Amino acid sequence: MSSTRPVLRAFVCALAIVTIAANLLPLVEFAMAVRAGEALLTPGVIGVVLLLVLAPLSAAGLALVLAWRSWMRDDARVLALFLGLLSYALGAEGTWSVLRKSGLPDWAVSVLDTGMPLAAVAGMAVMIRFSGIFPRPLSPRDIRPGVSRAGRIAAYAQLWAMDPARLRSTAAWFCGLVVVVPQALSISTDLRGDEIDLVVYAKYLVLAALLATVTLSAANLRTNYRLADAAGRRQVFWVLEGFLFATAVAVLASALKLLQNATGYQAPLPHWYALALVGAFLGLLACLAIALFGSGALDPSLALRRTAVSGMLGLLAVVLFAVSEQVMQEWLGARLGLSPRTGGIVTGVALGLAFEPLRTRTSAFVERQLARFGAEAPAPATPLPVGTVLA
């Protein structure tokens, strides 16, 4: 099975690179449209664009880091595969935009678009697998059935998911019956002019599977956290926090969505549910980044030193200053009628005075957090036995 690792590594890198390219292109086009005055730049639009772009780019970036630096670790390899699949699924909007502009016929675009739900379903299986082996593989004796019915169901699901072959088989059948068959039926009937759209109904099954997956993954990580020693709990803490956050947001958003469908209430933001799910996974990615780079949870060599963090903060401050200065200059010019030169001087001085206190406080906060997590000298993590992904 080790001979397949280079292929799997190339697959993860390809997914991440395709995601980055497919999502940067629409972002550049949007920026050019804003500059040409063809698109409005409001706080709501900025928030939506950042949410839709940051989530897939963050997942792709983390996948590339793990594939590059920590591929020989079993848990890091599984996590890299999960992040690569997640990045492709989260980047569906950018990929769909590129496919629509490719000039391909509609049926071909629909066929290629099937890869996104397939990546989502496969990512769910890999997510469960990762939660069951990090920071050590769970065994049946680690599972304690709860006294409530929900606790017993969760324990049974944990035991069921420990069999990699069963997990792979279930994911394959789910992909075929819930994703491929409805999509193929929709495409073939649409070509005949009498489309039968079952994809809409299949989405509900995929969403139900997503809720079950994040809940089961959080339960696995909670079990490992309960059984770990102090060092192991430091490894699991931020990963567990991320999965708990994603589970809470996804469950709450789904409950509100069901309530909205039952009452017929029209929310001000039409696609709020999809954005909520993207936000849930963005929170998960943020916690994974803290675990990887703050404390070296999977690989101590990935833990960032304070000098590296300070350098990144400085670079981020320069970019943020330049963008803020340009936006404020254009706003002042439009509202107050200032010339570009005068507006640039006013905004440059104002932002320069405001950024220094902000930079000082941010640096102090980061120093305190790095000292808290021990980023200067991360504790070494015990490597897991070299195994295979989903095996």
**Domains of the chain, residue spans:** 2-301, 304-381
Q: How many Å apart are CA 90 and CA 113, to the nearest integer?
A: 13
Structure confidence at residue 62 as a pLDDT band (50, 70, 90):
very high
pLDDT at position 377? 40
List of residues 6+ apart from 225 with CB closer than 8 A: 232, 233, 236, 237, 240
* CA angle in degrees (0–180, nearest 5) for 31-33-39: 105
pLDDT digits (tens, 9 = 90+) for 69-87: 888 888 899 999 999 999 9
Q: What is the mean pLDDT of residues 56-81?
A: 91
* CA angle in degrees (0–180, nearest 5) for 200-251-258: 50
pLDDT at position 204? 87
Task: Please state which of the ranges 337-341, 342-346, 380-384 shows the lowest mean pLDDT.
Answer: 380-384
3-state percent helix, strand, coil for the chain, nearest multiple of 5: 80, 0, 20
Pairwise pLDDT comparison (107 vs 249), residue with the higher score: 249
Tokens 């594939």, located at residue: 67
Exposure string for 74-89, b = 16+ CB within 10 A, e = fewer: bbbbbbbbbbbbbbbb
Exposure string for 236-268, b = 16+ CB within 10 A, e = fewer: bbbbbbbbbbbbebbeebbeebeeeeeeeeeee
pLDDT at position 329? 56
Smallest CA-to-CA distance from 3 within 388, 364, 390 is with 388
Find the radius of gyration of the CA atoms of the chain.
Answer: 23
Are residues 294 and 242 in contact, defined by beta-carbon separation less than 8 angstroms? no
Report the length, in residues, of the chain. Answer: 391
- What angle in degrees, to the nearest 10, is found between the helix axes of 92-100 and 115-133? 160
pLDDT at position 332? 57
* CA angle in degrees (0–180, nearest 5) for 12-16-18: 115
Residue 57 has pLDDT above 50, yes or no: yes
Residue 372 has pLDDT above 60, yes or no: no
**Backbone φ and ψ of 280, nearest 5°:** -60, -45
Q: How many Å apart are CA 154 and CA 220, to the nearest integer?
A: 9
Structure confidence at residue 345 as a pLDDT band (50, 70, 90):
low
Q: How many Å apart are CA 212 and CA 305, to the nearest integer?
A: 37
pTM for the whole structure = 0.76
List of residues 6+ apart from 170 with CB closer than 8 A: 125
Pairwise pLDDT comparison (118 vs 102), residue with the higher score: 118
pLDDT at position 241? 92
Structure confidence at residue 379 as a pLDDT band (50, 70, 90):
very low
pLDDT digits (tens, 9 = 90+) for 267-324: 777 788 888 899 999 999 999 988 888 777 787 777 665 444 445 455 555 555 555 5
Record the tokens describing residue 119, joined without a space: 């990546």
pLDDT at position 215? 92
Pairwise pLDDT comparison (328 vs 221), residue with the higher score: 221
Structure confidence at residue 387 as a pLDDT band (50, 70, 90):
very low
Structure confidence at residue 386 as a pLDDT band (50, 70, 90):
very low
Q: How many Å apart are CA 94 and CA 24, to the nearest integer?
A: 8
